[in-house]
A and B are shown apart, each in its own frame.
Chain A
């Protein structure tokens, strides 16, 4: 079982819709969870982090964490073409970040 697993996509949504990105992790002891965005040919950049069960909102982005189910998700409301990118889920394990394989999101005008 992969330590951090995401659907690779691509996920295609129309402009203005909600994009839902999902991630599962295997280490029950993990405490910190992160979402990075990576545009094609660029470096990843942090967009959200979440430590506690429940929802965390930041503008159009909402991160959701369920530690019992070992599941973390990212919702993007009112998706824009500029949101088209690969979204990487990452989990902190003892001083290092372990990444999933990423989900490619395409927002169609």
Chain B
């Protein structure tokens, strides 16, 4: 039972490069989220989606883009990497907005140099 799968687990980028963080869930959840976590800090919501074809900005969307073409996949795109985007990124999914039980992936550690 895979749950939420994120790739890659680690990545080093140069300033100005682009990349996509992949996220796939096999639980048929409608809700999906991308968070970032800086050292010693909580989770900041980047983007979220309530279903295929629907996305919305979270607390810190600048510098990122997302798409949700299927229920399973929710990739996060960084177009022009900046050192401020160095962080651990977590993808999560949920079946119900009210329960608040998010199922998290293992995280992707991104360093921008």
Residues of A at the B interface (CB closer than 8 Å) are: 4, 6, 8, 32-34, 36, 42-46, 49, 88, 90, 92, 95-102
Report whether A88 and B97 are in contact in the complex, using a CB–CB cutoff of 8 Å: no
Contact of B33 among A4, A34, A96, A100 (CB under 8 A): A96
Q: Assuming A95-B48, A96-B33, A97-B33, is B101 touching A46 (CB within 8 A)?
A: yes
The segment from B12-20, B21-29, B35-43, B71-79 that touches chain A is: B35-43
Report whether A43 and B100 are in contact in the complex, using a CB–CB cutoff of 8 Å: no
Main secondary structure of the interface of B (DSSP, over half): loop
Which residues of A have CB within 8 Å of B101? 34, 46, 49
Select the residue from B44, B56, B90, B100 with max chain A CB neighbours within 10 A. Answer: B100
Query: Please, how many residues of chain B have a CB less than 8 angstroms from a CB on the other chain?
Result: 25
Which residues of A have CB within 8 Å of B42? 4, 6, 88, 99-102
Report whether A46 and B100 are in contact in the complex, using a CB–CB cutoff of 8 Å: yes
Closest B residue, CB atoms, query A102: B42
Closest A residue, CB atoms, query B109: A41
Residues of B at the A interface (CB closer than 8 Å) are: 31, 33, 35, 40-45, 48, 50, 56, 58-59, 90, 97-102, 104-107
Report whether B100 and A34 are in contact in the complex, using a CB–CB cutoff of 8 Å: yes
Report whether A96 and B99 are in contact in the complex, using a CB–CB cutoff of 8 Å: no
Which residues of B have CB within 8 Å of A36? 102
Closest A residue, CB atoms, query B94: A97
Report whether B107 and A43 are in contact in the complex, using a CB–CB cutoff of 8 Å: yes
- The smallest C-beta distance from A26 to any residue of chain B, in angstroms, reads 13
Contact of A43 among B33, B44, B97, B105 (CB under 8 A): B105
Which residues of A have CB within 8 Å of B106? 42-43
